[in-house]
Amino acid sequence: MRNHLEPPAATILKLKQHADAALRAESAEELLGIEGGAAAAHFGQFSGMLKLEDELADKSQIPNPKSEIPAQLRFNFTHRNRRPPTDPVNARLSLAYSLLAKDCTLAALAVGFDPYVGFHHQPRFGRPALALDLMEEFRPIVADSVVLFLVNTGTVAGDDFVRSSLGVALKPEGRKRVIRDYERRMEEEITHPVFGYRVSYRRVLEVQCRLLARHLMGEIDTYPEFKTR
């Protein structure tokens, strides 16, 4: 609602309905279905948060016209895809999510959790299920936020990508820029909604892990989800 050019009322209502339904879910399978519906609604309107899309519609105004990624593909985001991503926005999202999953894994290990045993995400060989659970709170406010900044400021341009028969990939320099802005976001300080003190997003990951541990040990009744506003 803060970032979309014209937030569609129907999509906002749908997301609220999914949020309410999640609280009433009676199984992991039901919750997974609700999450899938919410993700589809979210990414279905993701392009409305890409502020440069309309400005770059005129190819004559596109910088670096000889970029390896055709102009019409740079901001052509219609849905979330991966393995491999098929457009530049998805390529940036995939890298940002990978970085966030890594940091959530490290936070879980620091607290003493086994990051491969999760709740919502079921254990699978090589998948840090608990880290993926923990990162759900931070996808929009960290990873999505970084990607929107990169796109809307033109920090990563079309010539930072290369297309192959398998999809779209970031070149080394493009990856460095995504990582740089992701790290900058993780060092940004905010006021923790539970404790009221200033803390970096990186530190928040560990704080949330410790709150989860206290909940599992019966010290607090519920897990206090992280919200910035």
Question: What are the pLDDT digits (tens) for 35-77?
Answer: 989 998 988 888 888 876 433 333 333 344 334 434 434 455 6
Are residues 103 and 186 in contact, defined by beta-carbon separation less than 8 angstroms? yes
Q: 69 and 37 in one domain?
A: no
Residue 221 maps to a domain: no
β-pair partners for 190: 199
Q: Provide the mean pLDDT of the chain.
A: 81
Are residues 34 and 147 both part of a single domain? Answer: no
Distances (CA, A) of 132 to 14, 35, 122, 193, 229: 24, 13, 10, 22, 22
Please tell me the predicted confidence (pLDDT) of residue 22: 92
Same-domain pairing of 84 and 151: yes
Residues 113 and 200 in one domain: yes
121 in a structural domain: yes
Q: What is the pTM of this model?
A: 0.81
Q: Do 43 and 88 fall into the same domain?
A: no
Same domain, 201 and 91: yes
Name the residue range of residue 170's domain.
65-216
Return the pLDDT at 81. 67
Residues 19 and 85 occupy one common structural domain: no
Count of domains observed in the chain:
2
13 within some domain: yes
Q: Are residues 85 and 165 in the same domain?
A: yes
Q: List the single range of 31-40, 105-114, 187-196, 208-217 with lowest mean pLDDT.
A: 187-196
41 in the same domain as 6: yes
54 part of a folded domain? no
